[in-house]
Homo-oligomer: A and B are copies of this chain.
Amino acid sequence: MSSLSDESRNAFFSAFKTWDVPKEHFLVKEEQVCNYIFFVAKGAVRIFYHKNEKEITEWIALDEEFLLSIQSFFQRSPSRLIIQTLEPSEIWGIYYDDLIRLATAHHDIETWFRKLPSAALILAQNRMDSIQFETAHQRYQNLLNQHPNIIKRVPLTYIASFLGITIETLSRMRAKQ
């Protein structure tokens, strides 16, 4: 994003649609195609999937963060991931076809756009790393350091699910500072 020219950036932001959505509104439902790259202008949104009967939180985006189902958006296929607001939120979104049009017209947008999946892959690998090699306590501390607002604003269930631990364990960690 920082790599875009002013002109491209303007074109990019002009293409956004905006919505005011209530709490627990679905931006992408299960098996829907994710047609937008979303930007959470204000609010809180979780991205999760179903595993057995449970809902597994993959990420929680607060104010001024992008999110989407990369796989669904890029492969134009139904999404395993579900995207839902946790608070009343102001959401922006750029539609797939519009983004393709922009990418055709602006080479730097094209470049940015093309890098998204492999950038997401790096994030996924980092997260895997953290689940595999860090203790639950370290993961909690990292989240606390890097995203204190998530800890403050979001109910324990979602955080515990994101960290891959039980609510009880998370509660105990929180207790000893």
Which chain A residues have a beta carbon within 8 Å of chain B's beta carbons? 51, 56, 58, 70-71, 74-75, 115, 117-122, 124-125, 127-129, 131-133, 164
State A75–B111 Cα separation when bound (angstroms): 10
Q: Give me 19 A-to-B residue pairs in the complex whose CB atoms sit less than 8 angstroms apart, sorted by A's number.
A: A51-B129, A51-B133, A56-B133, A58-B125, A70-B118, A71-B122, A71-B125, A74-B118, A75-B115, A75-B118, A117-B118, A117-B120, A118-B120, A120-B121, A124-B124, A127-B128, A128-B128, A128-B131, A132-B164
In the bound complex, do residue B132 and residue A71 qualify as a contact, i.e. CB atoms below 8 Å apart? no
Residue in contact with A124 in the complex, picked from B75, B119, B128, B164, CB distance below 8 Å: B128
Which residue in chain B gives the minimum CB-CB distance to A120?
A: B121
Cα(A125)–Cα(B117), bound, Å:
13
Chain B hits for A70, CB < 8 A? 118, 121
Q: Please tell me if the beta carbons of A125 and B122 are within 8 angstroms of each other in the complex.
A: no
Instruction: For the complex formed, measure the closest distance between the CB of A128 and the CB atoms of chain B, giving whole angstroms.
Output: 4
**Shortest distance from the beta carbon of A79 to any chain B beta carbon, whole Å:** 11
Expressed in whole angstroms, the minimum distance between the Cβ of A55 and any Cβ of chain B is 12
CB of A103, distance to nearest CB on chain B (Å): 12
Q: How far is the CA of A56 from the CA of B118 in the complex (A)?
A: 20
Query: Which residue of chain B lies nearest to A117 when distances are taken between CB atoms in the complex?
Result: B117
In the bound complex, CA of A131 to CA of B125 (Å): 12
A56 surroundings in chain B (CB, below 8 A): 129, 132-133
In the complex, what residue of chain B is closest to A81 when comparing beta carbons? Answer: B125
Of the candidates B51, B71, B122, B164, the one whose C-beta lies within 8 Å of that of A118 is B71
Residues of B within 8 A of A117 (CB): 74, 117-118, 120-121
